[in-house]
Amino acid sequence: MEDVLQRPVRYVKGVGEKRAELFEKLGVKTVGDLLTLYPRHYEDWSQIVPIASAPMNEPCCVRATALSKPAEHRIRKGLTLYKFTVSDGLSGMQVTIFNNKYAAAAVKAGAEYLFFGTVEHGYSRYQMSSPSIAPVGSGNRIRPIYPQTAGLTSTAIEKAVAAALTLVGDAIPDRLPVAIRVKHRLMSRLEAVKTIHFPPTNAQLKEARRRLVFEELLVLQLGLLRLKGHVRRGTPVKIETDHTAEFCSLLPFSLTGAQTRAIADCVRDMQSGVPMNRLVQGDVGSGKTAVAAGVAYSLIQNGWQAAMMAPTEILARQHYQSLSALLKNTSVRVGLLLGSQPAKEKREVTALLERGEIGLVVGTHALLSDTVQFHNLGLVITDEQHRFGVSQRARLSAKGRDPHRLVMSATPIPRTLALMIYGDLDVSVLDELPPGRQPVATYAVGSDKRERVYGYIEKFLNSGKQAYIVCPLIEESDDTPEGLLSAQEYYERLQQTRLGRFRIGLLHGKMKGADKDAVMTAFQAHEIDLLVSTTVIEVGVDVPNASVMLIENAERFGLAQLHQLRGRVGRGKDAAACILISDGASDETRKRLQVMCQTNDGFRIAEEDLALRGPGDFFGNRQHGLPALSIADLKGDMALLSAAQNEAMALYRADPSLETPENRGLCGLISSLFASVGEDGLN
């Protein structure tokens, strides 16, 4: 039965060897892959509307008669238009075809056609540009539109899918337990697959998608729960005594309630006898480093070593300085290991680590070197884990015997999605800011106010403070949209403005690592007053004297990214400000910038970002090691996500190995979904 789904796609009627190579570019190798290449959207040709009643700015289907043969108009070399008039008996409409003589030649005067496209309401007439055209009777239905690649059209994919469905017949197994299908009123998988590709009605399409999305989210949650379960094997790293009270007594300040709870969560995990696998998620400035210090202190006092890995040398140095200050009155020795250190210095640090004389080491990828050995590594701390690959984190953990793992992230994620993105981790949230941190005043203005903004920044610089100016591009090119500012060009132009008398620096992602570090070190030392930068300064850099930030073309950034950028200022005791310059006129842009001006709460901003833009900011580049999803995009699917999470938890509690006959089929789905991220131990 399942062999049909595993057959190479070339055996589908009409595909063959050459077309199979094109399908492979879309990730389709087998018949089963083809059936899970779901349409990315649909054209509804089943609802025909009169020309005069066509909706504004929305595609629709019009039935009309061609009153003339398309007339050819050569506009310039490489561009030919074909224009003709159609009528539905009540209204006329001009149709324009661009650069497609074959489509134009197929239109016959006096024949009736279906035209699918957007009807533009002009002053004196209706018009439609580049519509899809079909003879009446050939396509009054909902048509699937597939992801495409050069040489493989959506129509060709549609024909291949139809042939594949004929080939497999009823051989599409349903692995969802019957009780879950009945409880959530889900159609069978066979019916859902047929309907998602060739929906008879919009209502049936909605139900097919609901079934497939629910299954995918359920399988994802089960996979993440099983990943979490895999690390629940025993570990020799078990701390006997909690030294948190002793650590707190040595600090010159009091921890917040959230910090205290997070440390307690970690200590409890490390006393359990199984490896801790915890995320400490906190907004910019919420005190994650102090939590890491407190957790490491208890572990080290119990005779173990801890390692913290940061994504850049400047961040590693920053953590080293902060942790050294926090632990200076203790017996804990803190070490630093960087790729750029002199060989002699590195040898000294590695020797001390191997002898167990350094309790806590902070470093970059240099920690992964084969020459780095620990006496008894018990805790691995990763800062901004999405900057590291799964294998890199595993290599550091492999230097100990099932050490505890603590992940820190300053990227606020809506609570609804935290389980989704970090499903294999337990989560502690730092939702309080330490005393003394002031909210950053935020203002949104148009580019016509730029000169006044420069004057505002000048006041900060005159008082001895520093500033950032953030641009969306590194450098301009021929296809740079008008009005979009690049850091390179901005840096050069700024020299000619009233701010040109200050020491200006430039930082962007194309610079060599050593050059970037040199610029940031100079900025931290106040050898630079004003830093023009791209988003390379987004994560982690701490310059308490930087008190004002200007973000150009603010509409080009997501809310979460704007919040991360803004977090670079206001890190000292003084008042700070962030100015967002944008000429973006869309409602979404106005709403996003308004949210930034109203709140400094990263978690509220993350919720608003999800509501306004969907989860793209969190899932768009798959930074978090999640498998690729075929159909679930979560926007508008939050109720389904919640239901799938609840069912996954119930299934996992009752049958963690998924051994019962009704649950066994889910194992294969989990393995298939997680194959893309190399989690092959999920069976």
Mapped onto helix, strand or coil, the DSSP state of residue 145 is: strand
Mean pLDDT of the chain: 86
Q: What is the CATH number of the domain that holds 584?
A: 3.40.50.300
Buried-state track 378-400, b at ≥16 Cβ within 10 A, e below 16:
bbbbbbbbbbbeeebbebbbebb
Q: Provide the whole-model pTM.
A: 0.63
Q: Do 567 and 543 form a contact (C-beta atoms < 8 A)?
A: no
Residues 496 and 572 in one domain: yes
In angstroms, the first-to-last Cα distance of the chain is 21
Which pLDDT value is given to residue 482?
Answer: 60
Domain count across the chain: 5
Residues 604 and 469 in one domain: yes
Residues 340 and 306 in one domain: yes
Rounded to an integer, what distance in angstroms lies between the CA atom of residue 413 and that of residue 663? 31
Using one digit for the tens of pLDDT, what is the confidence trace for 539-577? Answer: 556 788 999 999 999 988 888 788 888 988 887 778 899
Rounded to an integer, what distance in angstroms lies between the CA atom of residue 160 and that of residue 227? 36
- Parent domain of 167: 1-42+158-171
Residues 332 and 382 in one domain: yes
Report if residue 435 sits inside a domain.
no
Q: What is the CATH number of the domain that holds 26?
A: 1.10.150
Q: At residue 682, what are phi and psi to the nearest 5 degrees?
A: -90, -5
Which residues contact residue 122 at a Cβ distance below 8 angstroms, ignoring those fewer than 6 apart?
none
Residues 350 and 311 in one domain: yes
Report if residue 236 sits inside a domain.
no
Partner residues linked to 380 by β-bridges: 307, 405
The two tokens of residue 438 are 């002031």
Residues 132 and 265 in one domain: no
Rounded to an integer, what distance in angstroms lies between the CA atom of residue 132 and that of residue 145? 12
For residue 126, the surrounding DSSP H or E stretch is strand 126-129
> Where does residue 334 fall: left (phi above 0), alpha (psi -120 to 50 degrees), or beta otherwise?
beta
Q: Do 617 and 559 form a contact (C-beta atoms < 8 A)?
A: yes
Mapped onto helix, strand or coil, the DSSP state of residue 444 is: strand
Rounded to an integer, what distance in angstroms lies between the CA atom of residue 468 and that of residue 194? 55
Rounded to an integer, what distance in angstroms lies between the CA atom of residue 145 and that of residue 165? 17
Report if residue 602 sits inside a domain.
yes
Report if residue 235 sits inside a domain.
no
What stretches in the chain show pLDDT beneath 70? Answer: 1-2, 139, 228-232, 384-393, 412, 414-424, 436, 475-483, 538-541, 610-628, 633-638, 676-683
Report if residue 584 sits inside a domain.
yes
Q: Do 540 and 565 form a contact (C-beta atoms < 8 A)?
A: no
Which pLDDT value is given to residue 612?
Answer: 65
Rounded to an integer, what distance in angstroms lies between the CA atom of residue 307 and that of residue 292? 10
Report if residue 590 sits inside a domain.
yes
Mapped onto helix, strand or coil, the DSSP state of residue 215 is: helix
Question: E strands, 169-320, where?
Answer: 277-282, 305-309
Rounded to an integer, what distance in angstroms lies between the CA atom of residue 291 and that of residue 369? 27
Rounded to an integer, what distance in angstroms lies between the CA atom of residue 649 and that of residue 224? 11
Residues 414 and 522 in one domain: no
Residues 569 and 482 in one domain: yes
Residues 404 and 318 in one domain: yes
Residues 338 and 404 in one domain: yes
For residue 156, the surrounding DSSP H or E stretch is helix 154-168
Residues 395 and 355 in one domain: yes
The two tokens of residue 172 are 């599409």
For residue 604, the surrounding DSSP H or E stretch is helix 602-613
Q: What is the CATH number of the domain that holds 115?
A: 2.40.50.140
For residue 409, the surrounding DSSP H or E stretch is strand 404-409
Rounded to an integer, what distance in angstroms lies between the CA atom of residue 62 and that of residue 44? 11
Q: Concatenate the DSSP letters of all residues of 287-352 into one string.
A: -HHHHHHHHHHHHHHTT-EEEEE-SSHHHHHHHHHHHHHHTTTSS--EEEE-TTS-HHHHHHHHHH
Using one digit for the tens of pLDDT, what is the confidence trace for 81-117? Answer: 999 999 999 999 999 999 999 999 999 999 999 999 9
Report if residue 217 sits inside a domain.
yes
Residues 177 and 195 in one domain: yes
